[in-house]
Amino acid sequence: MRIGLIAPPWLPVPPPAYGGTESVVDRLARGLVRAGHDVLLAAAANSSCPVPRVAGTAEAADQAPVCGDSITELSHVITGYAAMGVVDIVHDHTLVGPMYRDAHQGAPIVTTNHGPFDGLVTPIYRAMRGVAVIAISHHQASTATGVPIAAVIHHGIDVDALPVGPGDGGYASFVGRMCPDKGPREAVMIARTAGVPLKMAAKMREPDERDYFENTIKPLLGSDVEYLGELGPDDKMELIGGSFALLNPLQWAEPFGLVMIEALAVGTPVVATAAGSAPEIVADGVTGYLRDGQLNLAAGLLDAADLDRSACRAAALARFSTDRMVAAHVQLYRDVLGGSVSGVAPAAAGPRRTPLRRSGESAQNGWHVVHDDRVRAGRQEEPGKVGPRAPDRQLSRTTVDQ
């Protein structure tokens, strides 16, 4: 299949630090290519995901907010869809994009809601006609009032690429965002009740996050509670892997806790509140503990040190691998293209699409834009990027760096 992916414009793909949606899009893109599919990605211009990317998108600013203004998002979406005439199906990870699809009138569209189905966004998803909507957990799907859910697909992670953490650092870890919903204050209180050191890493870029830290968390820091800032992927996994448990006392029904499967992947048990998607991720008493209340969570934190770390790793491999995530998406794409997903608009009639074919030439970026079934001699697009397509153009793939 030829699959178009549209990522949000706010962060590069993959993100340099915090950015769950962009991390998932990166793994999905790479995994689809490994599975033999052709991928075209619309993402921020400073993305580094090694698949062909749409030209003309803007760069994501350093330390930019995770969500920005609608003008930026719509401009990004218009640029992305202008290049999607060569694909069989579009998987859009923005909120605005699927509403623009009526103007696009091209390939069928699938979209993933990476946030809650709350009072603000649910009416928007309800208004999406002819679009297959993916939920990222069964709990999230249960809250999608009036929104037909085409599939529930848990996020995945490249488990094999991560070393098993030793868990011998003598501390618990907290990783998330500096806001009340993620429970950093509760994490401090639970760790102190249990009498164990806590090391915290959290995104803190936006004004409300900084205010929350200054007013609520900073006064609680001490020799037993350390805030390390916002960590990059390698440092984050080292922090989690060295801890005997990840403390995740969520104060809201999180649609999917990506940090929880990251912890399991490096063998670290998870101690969390039984909210949102947590019961779908953590096997209570096996890969962690699900508890409510400060005393119960503190007791679970102490008990987590005795859990089998290999069981955590095995659960991540069996249930949350990138390959499993990719296979589930491919099946949905095929169902949509085959017409077995009710309510999804078929591809609009247009110029005949010819299959992508491998070129005998080598190319630095692994892709060519071809015309009349021939690679234009001496002419290539900017490395790693593909621009908007003329009606009679198609893509030809040679190799894509992994």
Contacts of 352 (CB under 8 A, 6+ apart): none
Query: Does some domain include residue 77?
Result: yes
Mean pLDDT for 129-140 is 96
Q: Are residues 325 and 250 in the same domain?
A: no
For residue 185, give its domain range.
Answer: 160-319
- Encode pLDDT of 214-259 as tens digits: 999 999 999 999 999 999 889 999 999 999 999 999 999 999 999 9
Neighbours of 301 (CB within 10 A): 28
Q: Mark whether 187 and 312 lie in a shared domain.
A: yes
Task: Report pLDDT digits (tens) over 265-300.
Answer: 999 999 999 999 999 999 999 999 999 999 999 999
Q: Are 284 and 189 in a shared domain?
A: yes
What's the structural domain count of the chain?
Answer: 2
Q: How confident is the model at residue 373 (pLDDT cuts 50, 70, 90)?
A: very low
- The CA distances from residue 46 to 11, 31, 60, 90, 396, in Å, are 9, 20, 7, 21, 24
Task: Say yes or no to pLDDT of 330 above 50.
Answer: yes
Last residue of a domain, one of 319, 348, 373: 319
Please tell me whether residues 142 and 272 are part of one structural domain.
Answer: no
Highest mean pLDDT (candidates 57-71, 99-113, 383-397): 99-113
Residue 122 within a domain: yes
What are the DSSP calls for 115-135, one per residue?
A: S---TTTHHHHHT--BEEEEE
| pLDDT for the residue 125 | 96
One-letter amino acid identity for 51? V
Do residues 221 and 90 share a domain?
no
Last residue of a domain, one of 285, 319, 353: 319
Q: Answer yes or no: do 193 and 151 share one domain.
A: no
The answer on 326 and 278 residing in a single domain is no
pLDDT of residue 353: 44
243 located within any domain = yes
Q: What is the CATH number of the domain that holds 229?
A: 3.40.50.2000
Residue 133 maps to a domain: yes
Domain boundary among 308, 337, 366: 337
Q: Are residues 248 and 329 in the same domain?
A: no
- Domain-embedded: residue 194: yes
Question: How much is the average pLDDT of 106-114?
Answer: 93
Burial label for 389, CB within 10 Å (0-12, 13-18, 19+), is middle
Q: What is the pLDDT of residue 67?
A: 56
Judgement on whether residues 58 and 109 belong to the same structural domain of the protein: yes
Domain presence at residue 389 = no
In a domain, 112, yes or no: yes
Instruction: Bin 378: left if φ > 0, else alpha if -120 < ψ < 50, else beta.
Output: left
User: Do 312 and 249 share a structural domain?
Assistant: yes
pLDDT in tens, 334-355: 999 999 887 676 655 444 343 3
Asked if residue 4 has pLDDT above 70, the reply is yes
**Mean of the per-residue pLDDT values of the chain:** 85
234 in a structural domain: yes
| 19 pLDDT tier (thresholds 50, 70, 90) | confident
281 and 178, same domain (yes or no): yes
**Paired tokens of 272:** 């969390």
325 and 294 assigned to the same domain: no
228 neighbors 239 (Cβ within 8 angstroms): yes
